Amino acid sequence: MRHPETLLSTQLNSLTIEEIGDEHIGTSYDTPMRPDAFDMDDELKMTLIEDKFRDIMEIMGLDLTDDSLSGTPRRVAKMYIKEIFSGLNPDNKPKIALFDNKYQYDEMLVEKDITFYSNCEHHFVPIIGRAHVAYISSGKVIGLSKINRIVQYYAKRPQVQERLTVQIANELKEIMGTEDVAVVIDADHLCVSSRGVQDVNSSTVTAQFHGKFKNEATRSEFLSYINGQK
């Protein structure tokens, strides 16, 4: 039996670049990064992106002497590095502190409807969604806002929704020291609604269930919470 990554590589080789993008196929569980990704500091990256984006705008025929457009290359460069793709830089990873579970709370904790904005790595257009995250304490608890910060950190990079779901789940498992973690993401992809098939009504749902959440009763309880049935 072939390894899943080998099988995926074989499948990808038979697809064109356009097909890979339109089918929203991801090639790895980790965000694909070069070894030298952080050899340049942020200021240099912004300067280079500013220059390149100015070239793109000029190629499209835009007049960069216009007051409205003259500052756009710099604004885009700053937005890329400091905002919407800031999750690429491990220096921006949220610092997480855990606390003893002094209340001995042994049921699931659910943080639902975490709004996030990401970007599709195939076309660099927005993914707008909600993440629902749950865990069962193994002796430690995490501040609620930190769950949101984990979601935002991994969302702020070029993404595939399946990978984003896995990355959030894996990070929480590692931090909490427990397998009892669940993540569900429901998102709208503007690369589907604003281009290509232009379907404005569909959304994409992905899920990761680990540990006790693989049990049907526990999983159903979690899903009932996020669907507003309790």
* Statement to judge: residues 17 and 106 lie in one domain: no
Catalytic residue among 24, 50, 132, 161: 161
Alpha-carbon distance of 118 to 123, in angstroms, equals: 12
* Statement to judge: residues 114 and 209 lie in one domain: yes
CB 106 within 8 A of CB 126: no
Catalytic residue among 121, 132, 152, 208: 121
* Statement to judge: residues 64 and 103 lie in one domain: no
Closest to 210 in 3D by CA, of 173, 168, 161, 177: 173
Catalytic residue among 50, 111, 120, 171: 120
Catalytic residue check, 123: yes
Q: Residue 45: which domain range? A: 4-92
* Statement to judge: residues 148 and 104 lie in one domain: yes
Q: Which CATH number characterizes residue 77's domain?
A: 1.10.286.10
Distances (CA, A) of 29 to 58, 59, 83, 164: 36, 35, 23, 9
* Statement to judge: residues 220 and 141 lie in one domain: yes
The β-bridge relationship of strands 140-142 and 181-189 is unpaired
The last residue of one of the domains, among 27, 61, 92, is 92
The last residue of one of the domains, among 92, 112, 147, is 92
Burial bucket for residue 190 (CB in 10 Å: 0-12, 13-18, 19+): middle
Ordered per-residue pLDDT tens for the chain, 230 residues: 444 444 444 555 555 656 555 555 656 789 999 999 999 999 999 999 999 999 999 999 999 999 999 999 999 999 999 999 999 999 999 999 999 988 889 999 999 999 999 999 999 999 999 999 999 999 999 998 999 999 999 999 999 999 999 999 999 999 999 999 999 999 999 977 666 666 666 789 999 999 999 999 999 999 999 998 54
* Statement to judge: residues 203 and 188 lie in one domain: yes
* Statement to judge: residues 145 and 47 lie in one domain: no
Catalytic residue check, 122: yes
The last residue of one of the domains, among 92, 116, 131, is 92
User: What local confidence, expressed as pLDDT, does residue 2 receive?
Assistant: 45
* Statement to judge: residues 113 and 199 lie in one domain: yes
User: What local confidence, expressed as pLDDT, does residue 25 receive?
Assistant: 60
Query: For residue 57, what is the DSSP state?
Result: H
* Statement to judge: residues 107 and 80 lie in one domain: no
* Statement to judge: residues 79 and 166 lie in one domain: no
Q: What is the total residue count of the chain?
A: 230
Alpha-carbon distance of 157 to 168, in angstroms, equals: 13
Q: Report pTM.
A: 0.86
User: What local confidence, expressed as pLDDT, does residue 192 receive?
Assistant: 76
161-176 and 144-155 helices, crossing angle to 10°:
140
Catalytic residue check, 191: yes
* Statement to judge: residues 75 and 165 lie in one domain: no
Q: Which CATH number characterizes residue 161's domain?
A: 3.30.1130.10
- The structural domain count of the chain equals 2
